Amino acid sequence: MALFLRNYVATFFTPTPFITTLLVVGVVFLWARRNSKIGPILVTTGVLGLAILGLDPVTEYLLDKTEMEYPAFQGRNQKINHVVVLAGGFVPNNKHPLTTQLTKHTIVRLVEGIKIHRQFPDAILVVSGKGWVKNHSEAQAMKEMAVDLGVAPEKILLEEESNNTADHTKYLAPIVGKDPFVLVTSALHMPRAMMLFKKAGFKPIPAPTGHINTGEYQFFNIKKPFITGDNLEAIDIWFMEFWGRLKS
Protein backbone atom coordinates (compact mmCIF):
# COMPACT_ATOMS: atom_id res chain seq x y z
CA MET A 1 0.00 0.00 0.00
CA ALA A 2 2.83 2.37 0.90
CA LEU A 3 4.57 1.66 -2.42
CA PHE A 4 1.32 2.32 -4.30
CA LEU A 5 0.82 5.65 -2.52
CA ARG A 6 4.42 6.74 -3.18
CA ASN A 7 4.01 5.94 -6.87
CA TYR A 8 0.67 7.75 -6.98
CA VAL A 9 2.09 10.89 -5.39
CA ALA A 10 5.16 10.82 -7.65
CA THR A 11 2.92 10.43 -10.72
CA PHE A 12 0.85 13.44 -9.68
CA PHE A 13 3.94 15.63 -9.83
CA THR A 14 4.85 14.58 -13.36
CA PRO A 15 4.44 17.49 -15.79
CA THR A 16 1.08 16.69 -17.42
CA PRO A 17 -1.08 16.13 -14.30
CA PHE A 18 0.72 18.90 -12.41
CA ILE A 19 0.28 21.44 -15.20
CA THR A 20 -3.36 20.39 -15.63
CA THR A 21 -3.93 20.99 -11.92
CA LEU A 22 -2.37 24.46 -12.22
CA LEU A 23 -4.73 25.28 -15.08
CA VAL A 24 -7.83 24.00 -13.28
CA VAL A 25 -7.02 25.84 -10.05
CA GLY A 26 -6.14 28.96 -12.04
CA VAL A 27 -9.48 28.92 -13.86
CA VAL A 28 -11.29 28.49 -10.53
CA PHE A 29 -9.53 31.58 -9.17
CA LEU A 30 -10.34 33.52 -12.33
CA TRP A 31 -14.04 32.85 -11.91
CA ALA A 32 -14.25 32.97 -8.12
CA ARG A 33 -12.00 35.95 -7.43
CA ARG A 34 -11.92 38.29 -10.39
CA ASN A 35 -9.48 40.74 -8.78
CA SER A 36 -6.99 38.09 -7.66
CA LYS A 37 -3.62 37.81 -9.40
CA ILE A 38 -3.33 34.14 -8.51
CA GLY A 39 -5.61 32.95 -11.31
CA PRO A 40 -3.76 34.66 -14.18
CA ILE A 41 -0.38 33.58 -12.77
CA LEU A 42 -1.42 29.91 -12.51
CA VAL A 43 -3.05 29.85 -15.94
CA THR A 44 -0.09 31.59 -17.58
CA THR A 45 2.36 29.20 -15.89
CA GLY A 46 0.30 26.20 -17.01
CA VAL A 47 0.02 27.37 -20.60
CA LEU A 48 3.76 28.10 -20.81
CA GLY A 49 4.49 24.67 -19.33
CA LEU A 50 2.31 22.96 -21.92
CA ALA A 51 3.86 24.99 -24.74
CA ILE A 52 7.45 24.25 -23.68
CA LEU A 53 7.08 20.56 -22.86
CA GLY A 54 4.41 19.68 -25.43
CA LEU A 55 6.46 20.85 -28.42
CA ASP A 56 9.19 18.79 -30.07
CA PRO A 57 12.49 20.63 -29.42
CA VAL A 58 12.67 20.51 -25.62
CA THR A 59 11.11 17.07 -25.19
CA GLU A 60 13.23 15.45 -27.89
CA TYR A 61 16.40 17.03 -26.49
CA LEU A 62 15.75 15.56 -23.04
CA LEU A 63 14.85 12.18 -24.51
CA ASP A 64 17.93 12.08 -26.72
CA LYS A 65 20.30 12.94 -23.87
CA THR A 66 18.91 10.07 -21.80
CA GLU A 67 18.08 7.40 -24.39
CA MET A 68 21.41 7.66 -26.21
CA GLU A 69 23.51 7.24 -23.06
CA TYR A 70 23.94 3.56 -23.96
CA PRO A 71 24.19 2.27 -27.56
CA ALA A 72 22.22 -0.66 -28.93
CA PHE A 73 23.56 -4.14 -28.18
CA GLN A 74 25.82 -5.29 -31.00
CA GLY A 75 26.83 -8.73 -29.75
CA ARG A 76 29.98 -9.57 -27.84
CA ASN A 77 32.61 -12.26 -28.17
CA GLN A 78 32.25 -13.53 -24.65
CA LYS A 79 30.34 -16.19 -22.80
CA ILE A 80 26.88 -15.06 -21.74
CA ASN A 81 24.93 -17.21 -19.32
CA HIS A 82 21.87 -15.01 -18.88
CA VAL A 83 19.82 -12.56 -20.91
CA VAL A 84 17.67 -10.64 -18.43
CA VAL A 85 14.49 -8.86 -19.55
CA LEU A 86 12.88 -6.46 -17.09
CA ALA A 87 9.09 -6.30 -17.20
CA GLY A 88 7.40 -3.05 -18.16
CA GLY A 89 3.75 -3.73 -17.34
CA PHE A 90 1.04 -6.35 -17.69
CA VAL A 91 -2.71 -5.63 -17.81
CA PRO A 92 -4.62 -8.93 -18.07
CA ASN A 93 -7.87 -9.23 -19.96
CA ASN A 94 -8.89 -12.63 -21.34
CA LYS A 95 -10.74 -10.92 -24.17
CA HIS A 96 -7.48 -9.45 -25.45
CA PRO A 97 -4.54 -11.23 -27.04
CA LEU A 98 -1.40 -11.50 -24.93
CA THR A 99 0.29 -8.95 -27.20
CA THR A 100 -2.22 -6.40 -25.85
CA GLN A 101 -2.17 -7.54 -22.24
CA LEU A 102 1.59 -7.03 -22.10
CA THR A 103 2.21 -3.29 -22.39
CA LYS A 104 4.10 -1.83 -25.33
CA HIS A 105 7.13 -1.40 -23.07
CA THR A 106 7.15 -5.07 -22.08
CA ILE A 107 6.55 -6.36 -25.59
CA VAL A 108 9.44 -4.49 -27.19
CA ARG A 109 11.79 -5.48 -24.34
CA LEU A 110 10.81 -9.12 -24.66
CA VAL A 111 11.24 -9.19 -28.43
CA GLU A 112 14.70 -7.64 -28.09
CA GLY A 113 15.56 -10.12 -25.35
CA ILE A 114 14.51 -13.07 -27.51
CA LYS A 115 16.52 -11.73 -30.45
CA ILE A 116 19.64 -11.43 -28.30
CA HIS A 117 19.01 -14.80 -26.64
CA ARG A 118 19.18 -16.47 -30.05
CA GLN A 119 22.74 -15.16 -30.39
CA PHE A 120 23.64 -17.12 -27.24
CA PRO A 121 21.77 -20.44 -27.55
CA ASP A 122 23.34 -21.83 -24.36
CA ALA A 123 22.17 -18.88 -22.28
CA ILE A 124 19.06 -18.69 -20.12
CA LEU A 125 16.39 -16.10 -20.86
CA VAL A 126 15.42 -14.57 -17.50
CA VAL A 127 12.11 -12.70 -17.38
CA SER A 128 11.76 -10.57 -14.28
CA GLY A 129 8.69 -8.93 -12.77
CA LYS A 130 5.93 -9.55 -10.24
CA GLY A 131 3.38 -6.92 -11.21
CA TRP A 132 0.14 -6.14 -9.41
CA VAL A 133 -2.04 -9.06 -10.51
CA LYS A 134 -2.59 -11.93 -8.08
CA ASN A 135 -1.77 -15.43 -9.33
CA HIS A 136 -0.43 -14.22 -12.68
CA SER A 137 2.90 -12.38 -12.62
CA GLU A 138 4.39 -10.28 -15.36
CA ALA A 139 7.15 -12.86 -15.65
CA GLN A 140 4.61 -15.65 -16.25
CA ALA A 141 2.93 -13.66 -19.01
CA MET A 142 6.30 -12.89 -20.57
CA LYS A 143 7.24 -16.56 -20.52
CA GLU A 144 3.97 -17.48 -22.24
CA MET A 145 4.72 -14.97 -24.98
CA ALA A 146 8.34 -16.09 -25.32
CA VAL A 147 7.27 -19.73 -25.71
CA ASP A 148 4.71 -18.69 -28.34
CA LEU A 149 7.55 -16.93 -30.17
CA GLY A 150 9.66 -20.09 -30.23
CA VAL A 151 11.80 -20.05 -27.09
CA ALA A 152 12.10 -23.46 -25.46
CA PRO A 153 10.40 -23.47 -22.01
CA GLU A 154 13.45 -25.05 -20.37
CA LYS A 155 15.52 -22.07 -21.54
CA ILE A 156 13.35 -19.58 -19.63
CA LEU A 157 13.71 -18.73 -15.96
CA LEU A 158 11.16 -16.68 -14.03
CA GLU A 159 11.87 -14.10 -11.35
CA GLU A 160 8.45 -13.22 -9.89
CA GLU A 161 9.18 -11.09 -6.82
CA SER A 162 10.30 -7.74 -8.26
CA ASN A 163 7.95 -4.76 -8.35
CA ASN A 164 10.53 -2.09 -9.22
CA THR A 165 14.10 -1.63 -10.39
CA ALA A 166 15.58 -1.80 -6.91
CA ASP A 167 13.76 -5.11 -6.37
CA HIS A 168 15.32 -6.50 -9.56
CA THR A 169 18.80 -5.98 -8.16
CA LYS A 170 17.78 -7.87 -5.02
CA TYR A 171 15.96 -10.85 -6.47
CA LEU A 172 18.16 -11.38 -9.54
CA ALA A 173 21.33 -11.73 -7.46
CA PRO A 174 20.91 -15.49 -6.78
CA ILE A 175 20.21 -16.08 -10.47
CA VAL A 176 22.94 -14.19 -12.35
CA GLY A 177 25.56 -13.98 -9.61
CA LYS A 178 28.69 -11.97 -10.45
CA ASP A 179 28.98 -13.05 -14.07
CA PRO A 180 28.34 -10.60 -16.95
CA PHE A 181 24.80 -10.74 -18.31
CA VAL A 182 22.80 -8.89 -20.93
CA LEU A 183 20.30 -6.46 -19.43
CA VAL A 184 17.31 -5.60 -21.61
CA THR A 185 15.03 -2.70 -20.77
CA SER A 186 13.68 0.49 -22.33
CA ALA A 187 16.29 3.02 -23.46
CA LEU A 188 14.81 5.70 -21.20
CA HIS A 189 14.96 3.34 -18.22
CA MET A 190 18.42 1.95 -18.98
CA PRO A 191 20.57 4.67 -17.30
CA ARG A 192 18.76 4.24 -13.97
CA ALA A 193 18.79 0.44 -14.27
CA MET A 194 22.52 0.38 -15.03
CA MET A 195 23.24 2.71 -12.13
CA LEU A 196 21.37 0.51 -9.66
CA PHE A 197 22.77 -2.78 -10.96
CA LYS A 198 26.36 -1.52 -10.95
CA LYS A 199 25.87 -0.06 -7.49
CA ALA A 200 24.71 -3.50 -6.32
CA GLY A 201 27.86 -5.16 -7.70
CA PHE A 202 26.44 -6.67 -10.91
CA LYS A 203 28.15 -6.73 -14.32
CA PRO A 204 25.31 -5.81 -16.70
CA ILE A 205 25.83 -5.40 -20.44
CA PRO A 206 23.23 -2.86 -21.61
CA ALA A 207 20.78 -3.68 -24.38
CA PRO A 208 18.44 -0.68 -24.60
CA THR A 209 15.34 -0.85 -26.75
CA GLY A 210 11.95 0.82 -27.18
CA HIS A 211 13.37 4.27 -27.88
CA ILE A 212 10.70 6.96 -27.76
CA ASN A 213 12.75 9.45 -29.76
CA THR A 214 13.23 7.65 -33.07
CA GLY A 215 15.26 8.58 -36.13
CA GLU A 216 18.28 10.88 -36.29
CA TYR A 217 18.03 13.57 -33.66
CA GLN A 218 18.30 17.22 -34.67
CA PHE A 219 17.22 19.95 -32.27
CA PHE A 220 15.49 22.08 -34.91
CA ASN A 221 13.94 19.15 -36.78
CA ILE A 222 10.40 19.80 -35.55
CA LYS A 223 8.21 16.87 -36.57
CA LYS A 224 4.95 18.53 -35.55
CA PRO A 225 4.75 22.29 -34.97
CA PHE A 226 2.12 22.01 -32.26
CA ILE A 227 1.60 20.49 -28.83
CA THR A 228 1.05 16.73 -28.94
CA GLY A 229 -0.08 14.15 -26.42
CA ASP A 230 2.88 11.95 -27.43
CA ASN A 231 5.31 14.62 -26.25
CA LEU A 232 3.47 15.08 -22.97
CA GLU A 233 3.40 11.32 -22.35
CA ALA A 234 7.11 11.10 -23.14
CA ILE A 235 8.06 13.95 -20.82
CA ASP A 236 6.08 12.34 -18.01
CA ILE A 237 8.03 9.09 -18.44
CA TRP A 238 11.29 11.04 -18.63
CA PHE A 239 10.43 12.89 -15.41
CA MET A 240 9.76 9.63 -13.53
CA GLU A 241 13.12 8.24 -14.65
CA PHE A 242 14.90 11.49 -13.75
CA TRP A 243 13.27 11.50 -10.33
CA GLY A 244 14.14 7.84 -9.84
CA ARG A 245 17.82 8.54 -10.51
CA LEU A 246 17.87 11.47 -8.10
CA LYS A 247 16.47 9.49 -5.19
CA SER A 248 18.42 6.26 -5.88
- pLDDT tens-place string over residues 206-242: 999 999 988 777 766 666 677 888 888 899 999 988 8
How sure is the predictor about 13, in pLDDT bands with cuts at 50, 70 and 90? confident
How sure is the predictor about 192, in pLDDT bands with cuts at 50, 70 and 90? very high
The answer to whether residue 4 scores a pLDDT higher than 60 is: no
Predicted TM-score (pTM) of the model is: 0.87
Percentage with pLDDT > 70 across the chain: 92
The distance from CA 205 to its chain's CA centroid, rounded to whole angstroms, is: 18
Q: List, for residues 153-170, the tens digit of each pLDDT value.
A: 999 999 999 988 999 999
Identify the CA nearest to 241 among candidates 62, 21, 54.
62
CA 208, CA 14: separation in Å to the nearest integer?
23
Residue 205 contacts residue 180 (beta carbons within 8 Å): yes
Q: How many residues does the chain have?
A: 248
Identify the pLDDT of residue 220. 65
What would the 3-class secondary structure string for 224-246 be?
CCCCCHHHHHHHHHHHHHHHHHH
End-to-end CA distance of the chain: 20
Is the pLDDT higher at 26 or at 55?
26
Residue 98 contacts residue 148 (beta carbons within 8 Å): yes
pLDDT, average across residues 53-59: 84
The answer to whether residue 22 scores a pLDDT higher than 80 is: yes
69 burial type by CB count under 10 A (0-12 exposed, 13-18 middle, 19+ buried): middle
Q: List, for residues 126-145, the tens digit of each pLDDT value.
A: 999 998 777 789 999 999 99
Query: What radius of gyration do the chain's Cα atoms show?
Result: 21
Residue 83 contacts residue 125 (beta carbons within 8 Å): yes
How sure is the predictor about 98, in pLDDT bands with cuts at 50, 70 and 90? very high
| Distance set, CA 23 to CA 18, 29, 53, 75 (Å) | 9, 10, 15, 49
The answer to whether residue 1 scores a pLDDT higher than 60 is: no
How sure is the predictor about 6, in pLDDT bands with cuts at 50, 70 and 90? low
Identify the pLDDT of residue 226. 73
The answer to whether residue 184 scores a pLDDT higher than 80 is: yes
DSSP state at residue 72: P
Q: List, for residues 23-51, the tens digit of each pLDDT value.
A: 999 999 888 866 678 889 999 999 999 88
